[in-house]
Structure 1
Amino acid sequence: MAIAIPAIYRSTVGKKAVMAVTGGILVLYLVAHMVGNLKIFYGAEDFNHYAHWLRTMGEPAVPYRTVLTLIEVVLVVAIVLHMWSAVSLARRASAARPVKYRSKRKSHAQGYATRTMRYGGVIIAFYVVWHLLDLTFFVVNPLGADDTPYQRMVADFDPSRWYITVWYVVALLLVGLHLHHGIWSAFQTLGLRGPRSDRLLRGLAGTVAALVTLGFIAVPVSITFGWVS
């Protein structure tokens, strides 16, 4: 079994399956994270309570922050496997088809999707690093670690820091494009797409991507425009 698993992963089908599964984990996390972020519209008390709950999940059965740390470990592993599979598949596809097709609509569409996923993925990686430094480790947050989660969020997207909001919105739009293409591709990888389900699954991929993107964008934009303060 120890030999069979790497052998499966080395195949194209195995790499696509890993991308689909890890992508699913990341999508579920994004949805949960977005729902939690939206609690800011209920006010400081609710949002701060939610932030505290994240760190005390499982107490007193397990120590402080244990569950959150396990979730973070799973996310890191999922991100690494997802990115490694994507890079491996891109290299394999490039090696297998060194001569590009000429002026075919499908080829252009595939090329656009590939570029969006590739370069968008790099920007998203930078965004994730910035986001962690900003609201997890408080390195680049104006208030640092000396205030409540609610106040740190509000200070981060203060109107005077409009460029930070623009940066977040651009990154989140790329997250949305990545989600849409990724979910749609995952349906195909997992064998769920077919003539009858094609339109339904395409609509589901677009809907999930749009809701997650708008849900995340709503918070920084609302703070910058003074709807949340």
Structure 2
Amino acid sequence: MRDRYFAVVNHFHPEVTDPFLLLREPAGSRRFERYDENRDWVPAGRQWSLGEPVGGEVLDRLLTSWTPRPSRIEHRYYAFLDDEGDPMRLAHLWNDANGVLAERTFVSDRWRVVGPCVFEGDRRVEIGAERARELEESVTHLNRTPADGRYRYWAVVDHVLQRVLRTWGGDDGTRCAEWSMGPGWHRVHVLGVAHHGSAWPITEERANELRRSFPAAATLFDCHQPS
């Protein structure tokens, strides 16, 4: 048996040639070691994600030329823009010691934890923590309910019914959105969802019928800002 090596990558460090960390599984052992900033192998603790197996020239370069990162939490902030360049959602991503990312998002009046990072959306720009705080008011203002009280309603279908949406704003009434799987509505950032074939227009009456068909479990997704 031989030692096995793994390059742990994530959204912050997506390349195996410059990973978040390098792990080794010694032959015959179930314990992992990480290659630390002093180029020593130290116990890595429990690993939730092993990453990509590496060997050969890639492993040789990592062991000789790559600069290992200190084991620390990284924080990054992003603004997701609509077609007009306005921030519709903010995201805060951070990693644990194993490189696993989590995400919280701001779409209306507060930050909510998403859980394991999804990091969806193409029109995103990286910003600083201070800029994210400055944009909270702008995002809240842009995501207010429609002045005329009129919504468009959609059924989001992927083989089976996933959720109900209501949208408003913009030239076609799809700039802002909320989703529902029961009695409540929850803000969501859904650029393009109504244009990519997964959402079908329905009436308000039909939307209410579908919402009543879901278990009253929407509160399970109402996460709160971490302390």
TM range (shorter): under 0.3
- Structure-1-length-normalised TM-score: 0.24
- Structure-2-length-normalised TM-score: 0.24
> Which structure has greater strand proportion?
2
Larger Rg: 2
Work out which structure has the larger RCO, using CA pairs closer than 8 Å and 6 or more positions apart in sequence: 1
> Which structure has greater helix proportion?
1
